[in-house]
Structure 1
Amino acid sequence: MNLEVKNSPFDQEQTDQLNRLLVTMDDRQKIWLSGYLAAVQSPSSHTTKDHEGEGNSTAARQVTLLYGSHTGNCEGLAEEYANQLKEKGFEARYLDMDEYKPKNLKNEQDLLILTSTHGDGDPPDNALSFYDFLFSKRAPKLDGIRYSVLALGDSSYEFFCQTGKEIDERLHELGAERIHPRVDCDLDFEEDAESWWHGVFDQLGDTQGQISQTIEKVSSVTDRPIYSKKNPFQAEVLENINLNGRGSNKETRHLELDLEGSNFTYEPGDSLGIYPKNEEALVDELIEEMDWDPDLSVIVNKDGELRALREALISHYEITSLTTPLLEKLAPLTDQEAFQQLVSSKEKMNAYIYGRDLLDVVRDYGPWKAGAEEFVSALRKIPARLYSIASSLKGNPDEVHLTIGTVRYDSNGRKRTGVCSGQCAERTEVGDHLSVFVQKNNNFKLPDDPSIPIIMIGAGTGVAPYRSFLEEREESEAQGSSWLFFGEQHFVTDFLYQVEWQQWLKEGVLTKMDVAFSRDTSEKVYVQHRLLENRKEFYQWLTSGAYVYVCGDEKHMAKDVHNTILQIIKEEGSYTEAEAEEYLKEMRKAKRYQRDVY
């Protein structure tokens, strides 16, 4: 017998979802579901909303965790914290801010916000709707609601953790009560996030000791090593190839790494994190400049682990980039008046740190009165670098492929190299090992339905995830159309993965491809120009339900592409500016417009 929900208390979207689910279930599953629903509605249950506010002393408080995440860090933390709350008897849920209906804010009890900040102080894409609602006149009074905010960011940016700071202040303005102060986390966020969570959990009615017991219990379930960001896997390098031709201005490395034994799984759109090492020559120059003992033991973590100073500077501490918080921490370590004047002005610090590293600071403002232990304690941990995965696990079992552009430039009289890209290009051979982990990214995913058309837009290494997309669709024999827009400098030297794209075009895995090589023509042509040239067909793909992906540089390429898409929607759809923006906003909320930008 086929069941179908018709007259019911559900809205149309819920009704459609139920009907789609019911037709896939067998009789055994339906019986189990009916029993499950009966059980959770039983008067003995202390987690149902029916008993909230009725004086039932056993009723658990409802905790809602909302996350705004670009790379997946906040999402991972929200899931972890929600699971711990459930284990302790709380009614807890965690939601992408895009999935949450902001008008329900006034009905919350305990609200936990976990959000990153994107670019120069902007909310991540999946937090935009929530952010706009919160700062609109429609935002309700939130008297009686308790909350706390965990903000993730990068202190090398001027507007560090700006989104978290603004949401924290706005919730307070609306009448909500802070149960724990906001914590702002840098790239090495784990310890600060853990501290925030212990403080929040205390206020929710538990103790730090019980949290620790829960965590230890989970980690002791298996004797197998569990590799993660905290415990990275040592992946052997199988291939390390320069994708650019002779004479190119660029060096783009294609790396293939062996994941056998890691138990890692990944999907197209995910990233691989690499913990890099600083260049030994740079570390030696720093030690010599400061007249430090390279064998001196220094503490490298909160557990008091000791390492020789040279090893610590190579593997544990960031020395290749500066932040304003670092300069402020260093201020008490020198009597130089010029340095005190520098740190007295944010504007001066921001101008100074651009293109400089720690060696520049110690040379420019010595002598320093602090010893090595005190000096390095001011440094932050060397953060992992995230790279879009350029392979499909289905097509490459136990392997992961990366596309890494080598960063090289001259600044302030010295040649500079990106810490991780330089390591991969200059100091990594086949057979070497890199410390890696998988970073999930649910905000950049192929549609569940493989028949849905996709449009992929990227420049340079921004094409990496599209290689994984097409490998995946080839393996699954997906029938949906695909269109790739790719941009680089020169056709002859910089056409990354050219042979593979052409083979996929021949086989029909890739339906259409448009390229833009900016330095091969008198007038520079970029991917947004190719979009405009194909505006009518592009818009037809949009109206047929195509998903649009953008990957690459945020400040230039992604911004220009975004504005071009808006222009096409406005002109081809005869929309006003506001209507075109709403059209694209709805696409984003429906996961049909996804960006992985940096």
Structure 2
Amino acid sequence: MASLINSEALSTFLQYSKPQTTLDLASLAAIGVASATYLVKGTPWNRPDPYYNQWFERPQFKDGFQSNHPAATRNIAEKLEQTDQRVVIFWGSQSGTSEIFAHKLARECHLRYGVDAIALDLSDYDPETISQIPDTKLAIFILSTFGEGDPSDNTAGLWSWLHKGQPTVSLPTLQYAAFGLGNSNYKYYNRVVDVVVESLEKAGAKAFMPVGKADDANGGTEEDFLAWKTDLFTVFQEKLGCQEREIIYTPALAVREDPSLEPIDLHHGVPIEQHSGSKGKSVKTSPIRALAVTEARELYTTPTRNCVHLELDLGSHSELRYKTGDYLVVYPIAPDAEVDGLLRALGWQEKAETPLLISALEEGAASNIPSPTSANAILRYYIDICGPVARDIVKDLAQFAPTPDARELLLTLGKNKDAYQTFTRRNYVTLGRLLSLAAPGVVWKDLPLSYLLETIPPTQPRYYSIASSSIISARRLAITVGVEKKPLADEPSTEIKGLTSNYLLALSNSFQKTETSPLYQLAGPTSALEGHKIHAAIRKSKFKLPTLPSTPIIMVAAGTGIAAFRGFIQERTRLKSIGKPVGPMVLFFGCRNPEEDYLYRQELEEARAELGGAFEIVTAFSRVAGQKKQYVQDAIRYKANDFCALLDQDASLYVCGRASMAREVGKTVQDMLMAQHGWDEPQLRKWSDSMKRGSKWLEDVWG
């Protein structure tokens, strides 16, 4: 019986298991292919694409250049051996100046003294491999200090490693030199290079020359670097036996015209995301986006200054988020007059939009300019043609001079510091203006674009404190932009115009449909900024309110330094309105005149009324007719008892504005505390260090 049932079941199964339709046949075929794929693991077709690497190949390695280049390494010693370099120049840079100095120095070492040198981003290599650099090599560190004595993002790995101390860090064979970039207006002037040098010495490294330091307080960075570089080359001559030779420009980058490219293939000026190496990749800054300006108004206008308030919409960019106290990073555009003047001097007016390919010609050469692009995009968006031309560049330009008179002038200015300073007191020498002044109406046909790319710093974005609270307007932020009209000392009619501030002023004027000067291509590259937009990003900040809103806060600001505090005050006012306990707040604010530049005065008065006794405003005015000049430090001194009492109540102290103001405020606060508590210097230092470590004393300063 069982056998009969099994036979019938089998017969029925076979009957219905036969393919009945075309769909059945297709299904069986698909199952067969899937089974075969599983069994052979893709062997018949899983062969490497011989051109796969080209998806990721650097442009400078195409066309056969360095086709046998060794695989990338994060070991510094290996890199030096692979490239046969005698000197390694490490750079730690936030704004790009240290990077520019490092690359220029590396090329000059090679061209002037025949010393093979390479400039390297610190974050591209593992810092512990510095210990493997042999004593036959030299290391040079060019390091910037920014913020409250902070290292640049790409120095973070070295900074952390050095702080591990001995015995982890041991450098008995390292011979080094160091140069720091800082500003003596800041409390922690050149702290980064000081800390790094101290750590290197403790680890057994040997300095082969004194540490150099640049002070940008009066714009002396370039001259300080030139003086230190002269001492470095003296060491090369006396200790290494190097002979100086005449420098003849040899391009490290190739710039080739390629009319076959279509406009759609080019980089027309949209900012390129710049990141450090894999270990130093910054997560502090958001992606760059075109943000719409939804409101623009002037806060005040005087013959020498303007101040505008801009509000921007984040609504269409869900990936962007800001917190109260963060920065808006703004990417500027060069004015038409500077771009057109330089194109005319170079003879590139008719070829401004011709497609250009940029590639490296030698090891270590790099360009921050995307390729392919055009001369117009390079000058308008990618290199800073509006900054003053450094003296060493003026001297180098003489080799390209189109006339004997131009050559003589440039050599005189480049070699003679006094002549250069006298000339620049009468003329604000941007590159275009310098070329026109040296050879009026003559084309500099021998000056190659490659030289400009290798020499002129890339255009850097500017940071603005966000002047709004994220808990009140999460998708809309504000910034406060001060615009100064600074005439040259000897020529009051000649103004030095800030690049980004004047660009934003022009944008504000266009929003209000008023005329502006200078003119800008406000629509941006390929009209990407049409409709009152700017290219910008959001950068995280440490300048934050205390976690507990009941914590007392003291805010000290001058001028546009009040921007971040506007967001602080908005936030606490909202918290108070919903029943949250809010600690006492005092704002010390300084400006010139209450009728002229008292920023956000009405808003502040309204907040004081809402907050009642929880918010006090103490003002200081420095330009009131018939009254003695008062600055914020004077106002603090006048309220010394209340100020110190708040600090004793665990208040957080914030200072925002120019570095010189912050320095004076710091001195005043320390003097008051020593007088109030009878402290000596060690006790004061202990308190100050504790406040800094606990983020209870924060500064957001510039200039």
- Please tell me the TM-score bracket, short chain as reference: 0.5 to 0.7
- Counterparts of 1:516-555 in structure 2, within 5 Å, are 516-520=620-624, 521-555=626-660
Aligned to 2:292: 236
The separation in 2 between residues aligned to 1:415 and 1:543, in whole angstroms, is 47
Which of 416, 437, 456 pairs up with 2:537?
Answer: 437
Note closer, same or farther for the CA distance 1:284–1:478 as it changes in structure 2 (3 Å cut): farther
Report the alpha carbon displacement of residue 328 of structure 1 after superposing the two structures with TM.
5.2
Contact 1:404 1:461 in 2 (8 A): yes
Q: Tell whether 2:142 aligns with 1:142.
A: no
Matches for 1:305-344 after TM superposition, within 5 Å: 305-324=371-390, 326-327=393-394, 329-334=396-401, 336-344=407-415
Match of 2:182 in 1: 118
Q: Distance in 1 between matches of 2:437 and 2:373?
A: 28
Q: Distance in 2 between matches of 1:525 and 1:256?
A: 32
**Mapped pair 1:588 → 2:692:** yes
Aligned residue among 605, 609, 612 for 1:506: 609
Deviations 1:282-318 (A, max 9, x none): 3223333444325343557557624332343222221
1:419 equivalent to 2:499? Answer yes
| Partner SS for 2:477 | strand
Q: Distance in 1 between matches of 2:395 and 2:170?
A: 35
Q: How does 1:31-42 map to 2 (within 5 A)?
A: none
Cα displacement string for residues 95-130 of structure 1 (whole angstroms, at most 9, x for unaligned residues) = 5x9xx9x5x51133489xx998432497858x85x8
Deviation, structure 1 residue 499: 1.5
The structural deviation recorded for 1:191 is 11
**Which residue identity is paired with 1:308?**
S
Q: How far, CA to CA, are the matches of 2:671 and 2:303 in structure 1?
A: 33
Q: In the aligned structure 1, how far is the partner of 2:541 from the partner of 2:411? A: 42
Number of residue pairs matched by the alignment: 463
**Which residue does the alignment assign to 1:279?**
335
Q: Report the counterpart of residue 365 of structure 1 in structure 2.
A: 438
How far residue 326 of structure 1 moved from its aligned partner, in angstroms, is 4.1
Q: Are the counterparts in 2 of residues 403 and 464 from structure 1 also a CA contact under 8 Å?
A: yes
- The residue type equivalent to 1:373 in the other structure is L
1:380 maps onto 2:457 in alignment: yes
1:488 matched residue in structure 2: 591
User: Offset at 1:379?
Assistant: 2.1
Q: For 1:333-367, what per-residue CA distance to the aligned partner results, in whole angstroms no more than 9, with x for missing partners?
A: 33612312322245655665564322331133236
* Conserved 8 A contact 2:296-2:310: yes
| Distance change >3 Å, CA 488–CA 500, structure 1 → 2 | same
Structure 1 residues 248 and 533: alpha-carbon distance in aligned structure 2, compared to 1, 3 A threshold: farther
Instruction: Name which of structure 1's ranges 357-366 and 520-529 shifts more when overlaid on structure 2.
Output: 357-366
Give the distance between the partners of 1:500 and 1:269, measured in 2 at CA.
18
> 1:118 corresponds to which letter in structure 2?
G
| Superposed counterparts of 1:238-253, under 5 Å | 238-244=294-300, 249-253=304-308
2:187, 2:606 → 1: CA distance? 39
1:106 matched residue in structure 2: 166
SS in 2 for 1:494: coil
Q: Decide whether aligned partners of structure 1 residues 291 and 120 sit closer, same or farther in structure 2, where only a CA change above 3 A counts.
A: farther
Q: Report the Cα offset of residue 235 of structure 1.
A: 0.3
Mean Cα deviation higher: 349-358 or 564-573: 349-358
Maintained 8 Å contact 1:566/1:581: no
Q: Is the 8 A contact 1:120 1:157 kept in 2?
A: no
Looking at structure 2, the residues matched to 399 and 161 of structure 1 have their Cα atoms a distance apart, in angstroms, of: 43
Code of the aligned partner of 1:141: K
Residue from 240, 250, 266 that aligns with 2:322:
266
Question: Is the contact between residue 70 and residue 441 of structure 1 (CA under 8 Å) also seen in structure 2?
Answer: no
The 1:155–1:311 alpha-carbon spacing in structure 2 relative to 1, beyond 3 Å, is farther
Provide closer, same or farther for how the CA distance between residues 583 and 227 of structure 1 changes in structure 2, counting only shifts above 3 A. Answer: closer
Amino acid across the alignment from 2:619: V
CA deviations on 1:134-153 (whole Å, 9 max, x unpaired) are 777x99731499xxx9x999
Deviation of the 1:268 alpha carbon: 2.5
Distance in 1, Cα, partners of 2:570 & 2:683: 36
Residue deviations 1:362-385, cap 9 Å, x none? 133236452452453232221111
Please name the residue that 1:45 is paired with.
none
8 Å contact 1:68–1:115 — kept in the other structure? no
Contact 1:69 1:116 survives alignment (8 Å): no
After superposition, residues 156-305 of structure 1 pair within 5 angstroms as 157-159=219-221, 194=276, 197=277, 232-244=288-300, 249-262=304-317, 263-296=319-352, 297=354, 298=356, 305=371
Contact 2:395 2:410 in 1 (8 A): no
Alignment match, 1:563: 667
Is 1:467–2:570 an aligned residue pair? no
- Amino acid in structure 2 at the alignment position of 1:271: Y
- CA distance in 2: counterparts of 1:287 and 1:261, whole angstroms: 37
Mark the CA change 1:371 to 1:160 in structure 2 (over 3 Å): closer, same or farther: closer
Q: Distance in 2 between matches of 1:435 and 1:595?
A: 27
d(CA) in 1 for partners of 2:197 and 2:370? 44
Identity over the aligned pairs, expressed in percent? 23
Q: TM-score, normalised by structure 2?
A: 0.57
**8 Å CA contact retained: 1:289, 1:362:** yes
CA distance in 2 between counterparts of 1:403 and 1:284 reads 30
Structure-1 residue corresponding to 2:100: none
On the 8 A contact 2:553/2:653 being kept in 1, the answer is: yes
CA distance in 2, matches of 1:542, 1:438: 32
**Can you give the 5+ residue segments of structure 2 that lack an aligned partner in the other structure?**
1-125, 131-142, 172-177, 229-271, 359-366, 512-530
1:405, distance to aligned residue in structure 2 (A): 0.4
TM-score (norm 1): 0.66
Q: 1:284 to 1:562 in 2, by over 3 A?
A: same
* Contact residue 284 and residue 540 of structure 2 kept, 8 A: no
Q: Residues 440-485 of structure 1, C-alpha deviation per residue, up to 9 Å, x if partnerless?
A: 222x222223222111101110100101112233344452211101
Superposition RMSD in Å: 4.5
CA distance in 2, matches of 1:515, 1:64: 54
Describe the superposition over 1:387-426 as per-residue Cα deviations: whole angstroms up to 9, x where unpaired.
Answer: 1111112211211210000122333453342211111112
- Residues 271, 439 of structure 1: 8 Å contact kept: yes
Q: Is the Cα–Cα contact under 8 Å of residues 234 and 436 in structure 1 kept in the other structure?
A: yes
Q: CA deviation at 1:548?
A: 1.1
| Pair 1:454 & 2:553 matched | yes
Check conservation: 1:116, 1:161, Cα contact below 8 A. Answer: no
Query: What letter matches 1:488 in structure 2?
Result: C
Structure 2 distance, partners of 1:266, 1:347, is: 47
Query: Once the 2 structures are TM-superposed, how far is the Cα of residue 67 of structure 1 from its aligned partner?
Result: 10
Measured against aligned partners, the alpha-carbon deviations of 1:535-563 in whole angstroms (never above 9, x if no partner) come to 111111112211111111113x2222122
SS where residue 595 of structure 2 aligns?
Answer: helix
Q: Which amino acid in structure 2 is aligned with residue 461 of structure 1? A: T
Relative to 1, partners in 2 of residues 1:547 and 1:161: Cα closer, same or farther, differing over 3 Å?
farther
Contact 2:469–2:571 at 8 Å: present in 1 too?
yes
Q: 1:547 to 1:121 in 2, by over 3 A?
A: closer
CA–CA separation in structure 1 for the residues paired with 2:648 and 2:296:
41
Name the SS for the 1:400 alignment partner: strand
